[in-house]
Amino acid sequence: MTQQKSTMKMPDHEMAGMPMAHQSQPDHTMGEMSMGNGHMMHMGNLKRKFWVSLILTLPILVMSPMMGMRLPFQLTFPGSDWLVAVLGTVLFLYGGGPFFSGARGELATRKPAMMTLITLGIGVAYLYSIYAVVANNLFHVTPVVTDFFWELATLIDIMLLGHWIEMNTVMNAGSAVDALGKLLPQVAHVQDAAGHVSNVRLANVQTGQTVVVRAGEQIPADATILTGSSAVNESLVTGESAAVKKTVGDSVIGGSVNGTGTFTARVTGTGETGYLAQVMTLIQNAQNAKSASENLADRVAGYLFYAALFVGIFAFIVWLNLTNLAGALSVAVAVFVIACPHALGLAVPLVVARSTALAAQNGLLIRNRDAVEQVKALKFALMDKTGTLTQGQFKVNHLLSLTSAHDDQAILQLMANLEAGSSHPLATGILTAAKRAGLTVTAAQDPHQVTGMGQFGTIDGTTYGLVAVTYLDQHQLAYDHAQFQALAAEGNSLSYLIGNDQVLGLVAQGDQIKPTAAKLVTYLKQHGITPVMLTGDNQETATKVAQAVGIDQVQARLLPEDKERLVGQYQQRGQVLFIGDGVNDAPSLARADIGMAIGSGTDVALEAADVILVASDPADVVAFLKLAHATNRKMTENLWWGAGYNLVAIPLAAGILAPLGFMLDPMVGAIVMSLSTIIVAINAMTLRLDRPRN
């Protein structure tokens, strides 16, 4: 099965001062939240409406009967019913305003839901209460008709309070975005060409400028160190608690904290191009995107609406025949109020907001929210070897000339010239060896890479290539198979230097397995996920690494198209997670059900992935899987809280237990609904990420 994935593009507008992702966030004191389809409600306005409505409610509680009963502290005097009606009308129009607007939006899109139900409930209660006042005081009917102003007032107050709490919780769940934006300092120390240092506002710092970062300061922007060194604390950005040693040529992330050293660095990313801005955009996109669970919640809410409408009308008709209009309306109002899918609409978004924020704080960047929900169906975890299970930091163990025309030194020189400027782990090992040998590296002419095969270029008029053994086999170039087997059996990755269709030399490089790789494999097996290694390296080296970490299924000497083909084959047997980092992994990352790229990988791989591991640690794969399982569990719990109570409450509100003397009052219905909302919010905020460090 082929899965199409969307890629996220950063906004094109200019940045100033701090990442646009942070600039676009609403102020927490006047935040906005949807109050129905298309209608937005300011938090400041909602807070004010609640307090004004509560003040209007107090005299209503004193003068109006509760559930038809007069309490000892309640006051009645000539005209008190009319005063309650006036206060109730003001409260109905003022406090109910947000619900009327939300209902209009829902009805305009022909999708009646929570706001329509609330409006129906308070509308019926208000109109019937006005009728009761007029009937009692002008027409003096008997028996006296009981009004619902007490229930109307408390219902509006509880609904407003529930929305206020909801908005607070939503904004608290998304506050990680603002926290990330505040990591950047406001001023940077910019050094000019003459070496003079001046303080420049962060908004004016340009890519390519040189900044000075002193001991204990926050790094103002993404940059590459030019001079000096230090230990940098990246915990606030990546979640990695240990300080990371940084020296000349290393990259540093804006927002991380410098240690005791001072260094100069060339700015590589500011504004929207910086790491923090991209992280914040990832969080926002993930929180705003619709997921499968949310679509399910919407469908459930729709079913509940029509179920409540049917039950409410049916109960009204039945009770109208059994009692009177007042009793029938009371039952109908209770049904409509208790069925409001308020908590259901909140159930999934709150969990997702909390989950994506937790993930980003711990160096797990979720680009595709559906990946979290697909974890529960995973059957296979396919992974690359180099840079994923191993460090990707190669050391030359053997360097051999295979021709009398070149000695070992000359072979190393040719290899280094071919690899000049390359950041591939194998290239880094060769360049490091050349540097230690005191060789001067000169880049080859017309350098180009054949993905999965090797690096090619022209040196002194001759075209050379540094290739894998797969290339030799495909082009039928002779080499010593026994020698290859012996070196590969030691766990080496072998590359051959060729020129004029002749094998000139070989280099065997060793890599180190990451300390947490075996723990990842163990976790996958314990949870019923089959780990599989897919690598372009030789079979012998791949097998040795696989045995060391506990992987039983190994596919070696693969080209990018081979990996993608195998991903498709495994998908026919179940959901597939693919973990990789290189250009040759990008097709597989895009094809897999969940593509996971390690943070040190190439831009192409990162763009194709659903999840990015900033710290490049296999333990973070486990962390993501644990977080995904916890997130799915919280979603399920919240969906039950948001909808499950309706299955019990709606029949109770309709009077199914009336023969036993139990009826659910409209006010009690409002309290139950609001309690369900609060429980859903609290449950979402209890989501935690258990991420042990090694």
Q: 532 falls in which pLDDT band (50, 70, 90)? A: very high
Class assignment of domain 184-269? mainly beta
Cross-strand bridge partners of residue 507:
399, 495
Asked if 255 contacts 299 with a C-beta cutoff of 8 angstroms, the reply is no
Identify which of 556, 544, 557, 488 has the alpha carbon closest to the alpha carbon of residue 517.
544
For 200-225, the pLDDT digits (tens) are 988 788 899 999 999 888 888 889 99
In whole angstroms, give the CA distance from residue 496 to residue 484: 10
Which of 101-115, 411-425, 626-640, 649-663 has the weakest average pLDDT?
101-115
Question: What is the three-class DSSP state of 46?
Answer: helix
Indicate whether 617 pLDDT > 90: no
Q: Bigger pLDDT: 446 or 255? A: 446
For 259-316, the pLDDT digits (tens) are 878 999 999 887 656 666 665 665 555 445 545 655 566 667 667 777 878 898 999 9
Write down the mean pLDDT value for the chain.
79
The whole-number pLDDT of residue 601 equals: 54
Pairing assessment for the beta strands 222-228 and 263-269 based on DSSP bridges:
antiparallel
Averaged over 449-455, what is the pLDDT?
76
Cross-strand bridge partners of residue 252:
223
The whole-number pLDDT of residue 13 equals: 31
Asked if 181 contacts 22 with a C-beta cutoff of 8 angstroms, the reply is yes
CATH fit for domain 395-510, picks 3.30.420.40, 1.10.1740.10, 3.40.50.2020, 3.40.1110.10: 3.40.1110.10
Asked if 119 contacts 96 with a C-beta cutoff of 8 angstroms, the reply is yes
**In sequence order, what E strands does 35-153 have?**
40-42
Identify which of 228, 287, 221, 212 has the alpha carbon closest to the alpha carbon of residue 255.
221
Identify which of 343, 391, 654, 384 has the alpha carbon closest to the alpha carbon of residue 531.
384
Averaged over 115-125, what is the pLDDT?
78
In whole angstroms, give the CA distance from residue 10 to residue 367: 12
The whole-number pLDDT of residue 407 equals: 93
Q: 482 falls in which pLDDT band (50, 70, 90)? A: very high
In whole angstroms, give the CA distance from residue 679 to residue 384: 43
In whole angstroms, give the CA distance from residue 286 to residue 366: 7
**Helix (H) or strand (E) segment spanning residue 626:** helix 618-639
The whole-number pLDDT of residue 231 equals: 86
Question: What is the three-class DSSP state of 431?
Answer: helix
Tell me the range of 428-437, 451-460, 553-562, 663-672 where mean pLDDT is highest: 428-437
Asked if 511 contacts 386 with a C-beta cutoff of 8 angstroms, the reply is yes
**Helix (H) or strand (E) segment spanning residue 456:** strand 454-459
In whole angstroms, give the CA distance from residue 628 to residue 372: 5
Which of 16-20, 96-100, 222-226, 275-279 has the weakest average pLDDT?
16-20
The whole-number pLDDT of residue 68 equals: 54
**Helix (H) or strand (E) segment spanning residue 90:** helix 80-95
Helix, strand, coil abundance in the chain, percent, nearest 5: 50, 20, 30
Query: Domain extents for the chain?
Result: 31-173, 184-269, 274-368+627-688, 374-390+515-609, 395-510
In whole angstroms, give the CA distance from residue 502 to residue 19: 54
Indicate whether 2 pLDDT > 60: no
Averaged over 332-357, what is the pLDDT?
72
342-361 helix and 666-685 helix, angle to the nearest 10 degrees: 10
Asked if 342 contacts 161 with a C-beta cutoff of 8 angstroms, the reply is no
Question: What is the three-class DSSP state of 520?
Answer: helix
Q: How many CB atoms lie within 10 A of CB 412?
A: 23
In whole angstroms, give the CA distance from residue 550 to residue 104: 60
Averaged over 505-531, what is the pLDDT?
93
The whole-number pLDDT of residue 546 equals: 92
Asked if 399 contacts 391 with a C-beta cutoff of 8 angstroms, the reply is no
The whole-number pLDDT of residue 604 equals: 54
**Helix (H) or strand (E) segment spanning residue 38:** none
Q: Bigger pLDDT: 280 or 595? A: 595
Indicate whether 554 pLDDT > 80: yes
Pairing assessment for the beta strands 502-510 and 395-401 based on DSSP bridges:
antiparallel
Q: 478 falls in which pLDDT band (50, 70, 90)? A: very high
The whole-number pLDDT of residue 598 equals: 81
Q: How far apart are the first and last CA of the chain?
A: 37
Q: Bigger pLDDT: 283 or 56? A: 56
Averaged over 73-84, what is the pLDDT?
86
The whole-number pLDDT of residue 178 equals: 55
Question: What is the three-class DSSP state of 367?
Answer: coil
Q: 29 falls in which pLDDT band (50, 70, 90)? A: very low
Question: DSSP characters for 55-85?
Answer: HHHHHHHHHS-BTTB--TT----TTHHHHHH
Q: Bigger pLDDT: 546 or 297? A: 546
Mark whether 27 is an active-site residue: no
Asked if 457 contacts 444 with a C-beta cutoff of 8 angstroms, the reply is yes
The whole-number pLDDT of residue 332 equals: 81
Averaged over 185-192, what is the pLDDT?
87
Q: Bigger pLDDT: 537 or 316? A: 316
Instruction: Give CATH for domain 374-390+515-609.
Output: 3.40.50.1000
User: What's 146's DSSP letter?
Assistant: P
The whole-number pLDDT of residue 646 equals: 77
Q: 110 falls in which pLDDT band (50, 70, 90)? A: confident
The whole-number pLDDT of residue 287 equals: 46
In whole angstroms, give the CA distance from residue 628 to residue 488: 38
Q: Please confirm whether the linkage preceding 515 is cis (ω < 30° from 0).
A: no
Q: Bigger pLDDT: 683 or 106? A: 683
Query: Which residue out of 384, 511, 593, 610 is catalytically annotated?
Result: 384
For 362-411, the pLDDT digits (tens) are 888 888 778 888 899 999 999 988 878 888 778 899 999 999 889 999 99
